[in-house]
């Protein structure tokens, strides 16, 4: 198995072509990831257990960064050169649970860049079933290198700033 510089599994050659929607898709201002609710995601009452929404949103954030090139490619190499051993940590999260999801529901996790500061990125995330918003969250992730908060490398800053500009310009995500 091939690993990137942070020790994470890198995409294998041909993986994106073989599974084009596995990591979701980039949309104006961010990212959209489709997923299905499985039995293991639900509690005894048959609805999605609240903590699993956090997992769904983590997948959305991870795949968003993957498709921006953080896990591979020139963007990753440039970020690694500026901040060896970098990773992101959730600094804060505000979450609003509005409606439940149930087994076999097909959901979309939408992640939009809201703001890029010195060492953090603020993302607006929502979990939707069709047009219905089930959960919304505002998530601030900090960029950390060698155990300390660090300014986000320029390559990553440019990529996320472009998306944040689209969101600020009130461009709605396309489905």
d(CA 35, CA 33): 7
Q: Which candidate in 4, 41, 43, 96 is catalytic?
A: 43
Residue 104 known to be catalytic: no
Per-residue pLDDT of the chain (175 residues; tens, 9 = 90+): 444 444 445 566 677 677 778 889 999 989 999 999 999 999 999 999 999 999 999 999 989 988 887 654 555 667 777 777 777 889 999 999 999 999 999 999 999 999 999 999 999 999 999 999 999 999 999 988 888 898 887 777 887 877 777 777 644 443 3
Closest CA to 150 of 92, 84, 90, 93: 84
d(CA 110, CA 102): 18
pTM assigned to the model: 0.81
């Amino acid at each position: 198995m091939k690993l990137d510089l942070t020790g994470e599994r890198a995409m294998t050659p041909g993986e994106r072509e073989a599974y084009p929607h596995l990591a979701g898709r980039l949309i104006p201002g961010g990212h959209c990831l489709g997923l299905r609710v499985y039995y293991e995601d639900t509690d005894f009452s048959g609805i999605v257990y609240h903590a699993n929404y956090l997992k769904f949103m983590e997948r959305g954030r991870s795949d968003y960064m993957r498709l921006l090139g953080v896990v591979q490619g020139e963007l990753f190499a440039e970020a690694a050169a500026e901040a060896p051993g970098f990773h992101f940590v959730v600094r804060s999260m505000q979450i609003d649970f509005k409606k439940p999801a149930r087994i076999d529901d097909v959901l979309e996790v939408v992640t939009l860049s809201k703001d890029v500061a010195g060492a953090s990125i603020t993302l607006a995330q929502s979990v939707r079933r069709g047009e219905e918003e089930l959960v919304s969250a505002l998530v601030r992730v900090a960029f950390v290198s060698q155990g300390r908060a660090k300014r986000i490398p320029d390559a990553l800053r440019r990529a996320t700033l472009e998306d944040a500009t689209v969101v600020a310009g009130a461009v709605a995500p396309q489905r």
